[in-house]
Amino acid sequence: MMFMRGLFSSIMLYDAHNHLQDERLDPWRDEIIAQMPHSGIAEMIVNGSSEEDWPQVAKLARDHAWIRTAFGLHPWYVKERGPNWLTTLRDLLATHPNAVVGEMGLDRWIENPDIDAQIDCFRAQLALAVEFDRPATIHCLRAFGLLEETLRSATLPRRGFLLHSYGGPAEMIPAFVKLGAYFSLSPYFGHPRKAAQLAVFRSVPLDRLLTETDAPDMWPPDELNPHPLKSAESTPLNHPANLLASYNLLAQVRGMPVTALQEVIAANYAALFKF
């Protein structure tokens, strides 16, 4: 993977999870892409969520060496999956040897979740991660006990997996670590109402910490947001260049200099995602 080091500043940042292909970013995507080589971001993982957006993710990675693909069926879109979704996903992973498997997972927060279908799709994607020897990216909301139970009963990817924007309790971190988990923090945890969840990241082992934006979601509070965006409906959106806010928050909660944290994140990112 080429890192374009000559174009970046001495700061090297890694976004373990975003959705640059999301249609909400359409008005700004070209501008965002033009800014990235000057923002310190060395690499980002752009996560597909459904059959509909997988081709867009693939094109972004073809066009930009600093974008890494991830293909998965998000639990929000399980009910919309086509009959050949798993075959299509397998073919994508076969033709993109550096692709991560995800975003996938379990979610009881959405209205009328089909948990049985979510589990079936989640297990199938875990099996693909094992088959292709790829890391996985996992989404979980209000289902952490079920997630642990499901992971314990499955064959897991040798390379490990990311619990992105981790919202579970500190007490579950050791069990997830034993199963191969890494944990990423998004700038949304800078909101005062998320202070307790931010504090959970004090309990994550240093060698399992990662940073993300989850752009265009999980935007930081106004005082930590140098790149404000709003949709046509005036809903806040997260800019991928807000990744530095995640680093700053994580450095604050861990009581360490941001420069030292950058080295830790770079090493952890390489440990999970490099081939």
Chain center to CA of 49: 11
Model's pTM, two decimal places?
Answer: 0.95
Strands 100-107 and 236-237: unpaired
100 in Cβ contact with 57 (< 8 Å): no
**Taking Cα atoms as reference points, which of 124, 134, 141, 159 lies closest to residue 68?**
134
pLDDT in tens, the chain (275 residues): 333 333 334 679 999 999 999 999 999 999 999 998 888 999 999 999 999 999 999 999 999 999 999 999 999 999 999 999 999 999 999 999 999 999 999 999 999 999 999 999 999 999 999 999 999 999 999 999 999 999 999 999 999 999 999 999 999 999 999 999 999 999 999 999 999 999 999 999 999 999 999 999 999 999 999 999 999 899 999 999 999 999 999 999 999 999 999 999 999 999 999 86
Contacts of 180 (CB under 8 A, 6+ apart): 156, 157, 159, 160, 161
Q: What is d(CA 267, CA 56) in angstroms, rounded to the nearest whole number?
A: 29
Strands 161-163 and 13-18: unpaired
In this structure, which amino acid lies at residue 8? F
Name the class of domain 13-273.
alpha beta
Q: 144 vs 117, 175, 199, CA distance in Å?
A: 17, 11, 18
